[in-house]
Amino acid sequence: MTDNKKEDQAKLLVNILQEYYKNNAEKVYMPEEFENREFGFSFFDGKFKRHISFHSFDDYKTFLIENVPKDVYYSIALYRNPSIDMQNKGWLGAELPFDLDAEQVLRTSDELLKRGWISSSQYQRIKELAINLIENFLEADFGLKSDDYLVSFSGSRGYHIRIKEKTYLGLDQKARRQIVEYVAIGPSINFPTHQSRFLPFAHDYGWNRKIFLWLKHIDSTAFSADEVALKILAKIKKLNKPSELVITNVERRAFENMFTKALSELTISIDERVTVDVNRLLRAPMTVHGGSGFLVKPLSKSSLEKFDPFVHASMPLNSYRRIIVKEIPFEVSINNETVSPSDQGKTIEVNSALAYYLVIRGGGNILE
Amino acid sequence: MEEYDLEILAAKYPHSHWGKEYLKKNSIDLNKIDEKVFQKIESVFKKEYEADFLVDYLTPKNEVQAYLLAFNLLINPKLQNARERLASAFFSWLSNRTSRLLSNESMMIILEYFEKSLKITPLIQEKRIVIKIADFFNLCKNTHKIKLVELPILKGMIFLDKYQAASLAGELTYSYLFRILNEKTFLATAIDNEYFERFNKAFKKEDLKVATKLDHTKYPPCIKLFIEELSNGLAITHFARFTLAAFMRQIGVKKEHVKEFFNKASNFNSQRTEYQISHIYGEIGSRIKYSAPSCDTLKVAKLCPIQYYCDRYARHPVAVYKRRMRQIDRQ
């Protein structure tokens, strides 16, 4: 596409965003301690404005309607003076964020996914990992309740979870890194080489419990090629708690493999840079992700379980746009309308949310 | 608590609330110190750990006096660069000793130590000491030894048996002492007494020297891999380049030599490389001298080629290298 055409398409996309913000500004999410947050905005011309703060929520909504940013962010951090330079802002604390990004959590280098084409089944898998993070780490281990965190669909490639609970606000980078290690790496085992018997689990909680329960409930076919591993599994299935497990020197190697496999299944590859960054800007809920046209949707745990971005994160618009369909990798359904790869080259009228998604992903052009 | 118990506990844990109670009842003069006490303090700062106790724990006066003197030497503003290093040696010794001694105490004593010395209010459940994960986070800031990932955690609580509790209490002591040190250093005024002069002379940190002795065979596997990939003309990630340059800065390699590592990379750009290395060396921009990331950070970034850790104790590429170099020195 030539630059002129790109600009024209960008203007047409801005019109769609404007329509959303004009009719839905009331729905935009207001974060706690709103006045202490730094806001950042990117625009279709490539400019990025940050170090902005608002005195009232109405000012924020007006800004969105008047300026129609492509992307909207606010800081996880609270500052005494959020609109001045970083050194003088006066950091007061920061939520603890987790970013589950498709490419990282799915541990894939899928080219389509890199270009933003994420299928429903991939979204489903990312969602399962987000629920796993919430249930098995944040709630089961850290004891957090649903009021202590905010989950939101990131608007494109995954989910953001912000821990709002006060204890976590003051954590420094080292403590945040410990939490990343807890979620994304897990423990290691060091067998004492001079001992013939070894207790791999020194206690019955935390990671020991996770690995023990995983091994206790895993189907033995997972290790069917290894006789020693099967013997260990049989032993584990008879035990009540992790600290009862004894591994002999002969079983050492097999157990190490089982331990490693358990870790690869149970750890979640969150983006470390996001979690340890105490000044991070994250996408603002109920604004539009300019790279997809999906809403950055805040979700309760129960709504997360049923959540499908193609159904629940589309812009609620009543308008339609005529588009020429280009190459698309799979069928896309938004607001009950579907475009499939066989529509390539056709001119069709679709709802504006679907039009935005296709155009921004390079799967179509809007006709004026 | 009986008087006799207090004396023993003050001697064992001079930094604790028992030490403070002892001080309330007994006057201690820091200007009249037994030479033996000073020598013992020196040995702790030099990491020449000879015994569990500074002097003799049956004389609590000596123990409390030694602790107070060591702390007073550390908070002296004139100490400057050496403070962190010496404090680390002293607190590490004291916290290890605390762990060891607490593991032989009763649950009630351990509980009291948590409550009154570390200011954490634990619960007792099923013969276990239970502390909130929040309290752990608040206290663990200076310690790298306790790993959250290894702790017995359930529903926001850490469940500890007596030995684990003693071990954690010792580790948290390290952080706790650093916190007090920072607060007291901020308030302290410079004092030139006889002890400080002797102490300062013995421990003044030498200016950071450019490394005269480097041994590339002792580099940790991650650094070796980056160098190998670069020398084969491969383009390594930005984070790997940053790690390599920051590592070289920390072990004392001259900036000019660091650039040579990158000149075979397929995407080598001389000006950009020089600019970025200068940034890492703190010569331009924010003037921050950047440090290489820890082993755990490298693992998350998938830049560590080792399944677990390449060193039993060290968890940082620079620490791994330094340990290997020290081993050569000893040989």
In this predicted model, what pLDDT tens digit does every residue of A31-50 receive, in sequence order?
Answer: 999 999 999 999 999 999 99
Confidence of residue A179 (pLDDT cuts 50, 70, 90): very high
- Give the mean model confidence (pLDDT) for residues A223-230: 90
Residues B193 and B233 in one domain: no
On whether residue B244 sits in a domain, the answer given is yes
Residue B117 contacts residue B238 (beta carbons within 8 Å): no
On whether residue B22 sits in a domain, the answer given is yes
Which residue blocks in A133-251 are alpha helix, DSSP H? 166-169, 173-180, 206-217, 227-238
Closest CA of chain B from A302, distance in Å: 20
DSSP state of B61: H
Of the listed ranges A162-171, A234-243, B13-22, B255-264, the least confidently predicted one is B255-264
On whether residue B76 sits in a domain, the answer given is yes
Choice among A71, A99, A277, A343 that is catalytic: A99
**Per-residue confidence (pLDDT) for residue B83, from 0 to 100:** 82
Residue B276 contacts residue B269 (beta carbons within 8 Å): no
CA distance readout (Å), B98 to A311, B93, B144: 59, 9, 17
Residues B197 and B240 in one domain: no
Count how many Cα atoms sit within 13 Å of the Cα of residue A360 in the half-sphere of its side chain. 25
Cβ of A182 and B164 within 8 Å?
A: no
Q: Residue B50 in 3-state DSSP?
A: coil
Beta strands in B94-152 (DSSP E): 123-125, 128-132
Query: Which has the higher per-residue pLDDT, A200 or A3?
Result: A200
Tell me the residue type at B295: C
Share above pLDDT 70 across residues of chain B, in percent, rounded to a whole number: 90
Q: Torsion over CA of A276, A86, A76 and A139, rounded to 10 degrees?
A: 30
Q: Which of B203, B231, B263 is the last residue of a domain?
A: B203
On whether residue B145 sits in a domain, the answer given is no
A59-73, B131-145, B177-191, range with greatest mean pLDDT: A59-73
Residue A104, classified by CB atoms within 10 Å of its CB into exposed (0-12), middle (13-18) or buried (19+), is buried
Q: What are phi and psi of B129, to 5 degrees?
A: -90, 125
Residue A179 contacts residue A96 (beta carbons within 8 Å): yes
Residue B175 contacts residue B140 (beta carbons within 8 Å): yes
Residues B222 and B296 in one domain: yes
**Per-residue confidence (pLDDT) for residue A341, from 0 to 100:** 94
Residues B71 and B198 in one domain: yes
Q: Torsion over CA of B120, B85, B101 and B129, rounded to 10 degrees?
A: 20
On whether residue B112 sits in a domain, the answer given is no
Number of structural domains found in chain B: 2
**Per-residue confidence (pLDDT) for residue B41, from 0 to 100:** 85
On whether residue B325 sits in a domain, the answer given is yes
Task: Dump pLDDT digits (tens) for B311-330.
Answer: 877 789 998 998 888 877 66
- What is the token pair recorded at B39? 């020598």
pLDDT at B210 over 50: no
Residue B275 contacts residue B284 (beta carbons within 8 Å): yes
Residues B223 and B322 in one domain: yes
DSSP state of B208: P
Selected residue of A107, A181, A257, A260 to mutate for chain B interface (largest B Cβ count, 10 A) = A181
What integer best gives the mean pLDDT of chain B? 83
Helices (H) and strands (E) in chain B, counts: 15, 4
Residues B34 and B64 in one domain: yes
The position carrying tokens 């003197």 is B69
Closest CA of chain A from B185, distance in Å: 21
**What is the layout of strands, in order, in the sheet containing A347-351?**
A347-351, A320-325, A364-366
Residues B21 and B87 in one domain: yes
Q: Which of B178, B203, B228 is the last residue of a domain?
A: B203
On whether residue B126 sits in a domain, the answer given is no
Residues B81 and B227 in one domain: no
Residues B171 and B226 in one domain: no
Cβ of A181 and B307 within 8 Å?
A: no
Q: In angstroms, rounded to a whole number, what is the distance separating the alpha carbons of residues A193 and A252? A: 10
pLDDT at A264 over 80: yes
Query: Which has the higher per-residue pLDDT, B248 or A6?
Result: B248
Q: In angstroms, rounded to a whole number, what is the distance separating the alpha carbons of residues B185 and B72? A: 9
What residues of A are in contact with residue B152 (Cβ under 8 Å)? 203-206, 208
Residue B90 lies in domain:
6-105+167-203
Contacts with A86 (C-beta within 8 Å, 6 or more apart), sequence order? A279
Cβ of A185 and B151 within 8 Å?
A: no
The position carrying tokens 């030139």 is B192
Closest CA of chain A from B137, distance in Å: 7
Residue A38 contacts residue A74 (beta carbons within 8 Å): yes
Interface predicted TM-score (ipTM) over 0.85 = no
Question: Whose CA is closest to A291, among A100, A117, A97, A107?
Answer: A117
Residues B273 and B250 in one domain: yes
Selected residue of A272, A274, A275 to mutate for chain B interface (largest B Cβ count, 10 A) = A272
**What is the layout of strands, in order, in the sheet containing A158-163?**
A96-101, A158-163, A149-153, A298-299
Residues B244 and B197 in one domain: no
Residues B183 and B281 in one domain: no
- Give the mean model confidence (pLDDT) for residues B61-70: 89
The position carrying tokens 């950091």 is A91
A141 classed as catalytic: no
A226 classed as catalytic: no
Question: Whose CA is closest to A152, among A306, A353, A360, A295?
Answer: A295
Confidence of residue B35 (pLDDT cuts 50, 70, 90): confident
Beta strands in chain A (DSSP E): 39-42, 48-52, 71-75, 77-79, 91-94, 96-101, 149-153, 158-163, 197-198, 247-248, 281-283, 298-299, 320-325, 332-334, 337-339, 347-351, 364-366
Cβ of B155 and A143 within 8 Å?
A: yes
A99 classed as catalytic: yes
